[in-house]
Amino acid sequence: MYSVKNLAEYIVALIAAFARHFSMCESDAYQYQHRYGAVKVVHGICGLFGEYGAEKR
């Protein structure tokens, strides 16, 4: 499982990259991604990879 710190850093980087790509401020990018559930999807995907990695050990 990913640490909370690593997951938080990844989500912040995702929001920043999204904002830069679409030429918007980071708060607007966060609101957009939050509205459409992107953060939940990323959290779910990271959780799946974390569980998969644990099974392989």
Tens digits of residue pLDDT in 1-57 = 567 787 788 888 989 999 999 999 999 999 998 898 887 787 677 665 554 444 443
Q: Is 25 helix (H, G, I), strand (E, B) or coil?
A: coil
Domain-wise residue ranges, the chain: 4-56
Tokens read off for 23: 């030429």
Burial of 42 (0-12, 13-18, 19+ CB in 10 A): middle
In this structure, are residues 19 and 25 in contact, taking their beta carbons and an 8 Å threshold?
yes
The pLDDT of residue 47 is 63
The pLDDT of residue 40 is 79
Q: What is the pTM of this model?
A: 0.68
